[in-house]
């Protein structure tokens, strides 16, 4: 299951810098990237010299924890249809528009929602048939925001 999709510039696996334990997830790249490794003693030295660095990293860890709790809640209490509607509404908010490029493939969406690609494709087709969205290639338009919000809240 995909917990998060990060884009550059970004950090991952910050937690072991603080507690020395293993990172509780795995990371996979979907394209070329440059990685940098910061060892714990060097990180502590930088934090002692620049305490604001530690505060910024803790803010990132806190944000990730909040997202993870939200994900666990959604997986526990929401259907795939609800989670997909929520994901589309969030993508629209992040884009600041009702028309935007869908930032994920159907497989990536399925991984984020804890399901399979076919279920995502079927639900997108249903949203399209209901007039909630228009999908042309990777371009998605939310045609009926209120309807999609109802899908997000439904008890299906």
We report the CATH number of the domain holding residue 141 as: 1.10.10.10
Q: In the structure, how many helices (H) and strands (E) does the chain have?
A: 7, 3
Q: In terms of domains, do 97 and 62 share one?
A: no
Q: In terms of domains, do 116 and 61 share one?
A: no
* 143-154: pLDDT as tens digits: 999 999 999 887
Question: Has residue 5 been placed in a domain?
Answer: no
Overall size of the chain counted in residues? 156
Q: In terms of domains, do 29 and 85 share one?
A: no
* 47-90: pLDDT as tens digits: 999 999 999 999 999 998 888 887 777 666 678 899 899 999 99
Question: What's the angle, vertex CA 18, arms to CA 17 and CA 23, rounded to 5?
Answer: 60
The phi, psi pair for 134, rounded to 5°, reads -125, 135
Long-range CB contacts for residues 42-46, cutoff 8 Å, separation at least 24:
43/17
| Residue-range definition of the domain harbouring residue 138 | 79-153
pTM over 0.85, yes/no: no
pLDDT of the residue at 77: 66
Q: How far apart (Å, rounded) are the C-alpha atoms in residues 35 and 28?
A: 12
The phi, psi pair for 64, rounded to 5°, reads -65, -40
Of the CA atoms within 13 Å of residue 14, those in its CB half-sphere come to 16
Question: Has residue 146 been placed in a domain?
Answer: yes
Q: How far apart (Å, rounded) are the C-alpha atoms in residues 139 and 16?
A: 38
How many distinct structural domains can be found in the chain? 2
* 95-113: pLDDT as tens digits: 999 999 998 899 999 988 8
Q: In terms of domains, do 94 and 66 share one?
A: no
pLDDT of the residue at 155: 62
Q: Two tokens at 36?
A: 């940098």
pLDDT of the residue at 119: 93
* 25-41: pLDDT as tens digits: 888 888 899 989 999 99
At which of 30, 60, 76 does a domain end? 76
At which of 25, 60, 76 does a domain end? 76
Q: In terms of domains, do 85 and 138 share one?
A: yes
The phi, psi pair for 21, rounded to 5°, reads -80, 180
Q: How far apart (Å, rounded) are the C-alpha atoms in residues 71 and 82?
A: 12
Average pLDDT across the chain, whole number: 89
Q: How far apart (Å, rounded) are the C-alpha atoms in residues 92 and 102?
A: 9
Q: In terms of domains, do 85 and 149 share one?
A: yes
The phi, psi pair for 6, rounded to 5°, reads -100, 150
């Amino acid at each position: 299951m995909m917990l998060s999709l990060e884009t550059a510039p970004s950090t991952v696996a910050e937690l072991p810098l603080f507690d020395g334990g293993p990172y509780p997830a795995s990371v996979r790249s979907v394209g070329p990237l440059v990685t940098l490794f910061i060892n714990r003693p060097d990180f502590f030295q930088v934090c002692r010299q620049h305490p604001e660095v530690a505060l910024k990293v803790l803010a990132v860890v806190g944000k990730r924890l909040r997202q993870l709790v939200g994900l666990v809640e959604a997986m526990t209490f929401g259907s795939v249809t609800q989670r997909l509607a929520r994901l589309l509404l969030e993508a629209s908010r992040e884009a600041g528009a009702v028309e935007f490029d869908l930032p994920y493939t159907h497989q990536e969406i399925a991984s984020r929602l804890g399901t399979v690609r076919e279920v995502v494709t079927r639900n997108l087709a249903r949203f399209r048939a209901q007039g909630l969205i228009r999908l042309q290639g990777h371009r998605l338009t939310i045609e009926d925001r209120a309807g999609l919000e109802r899908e997000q809240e439904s008890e299906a």
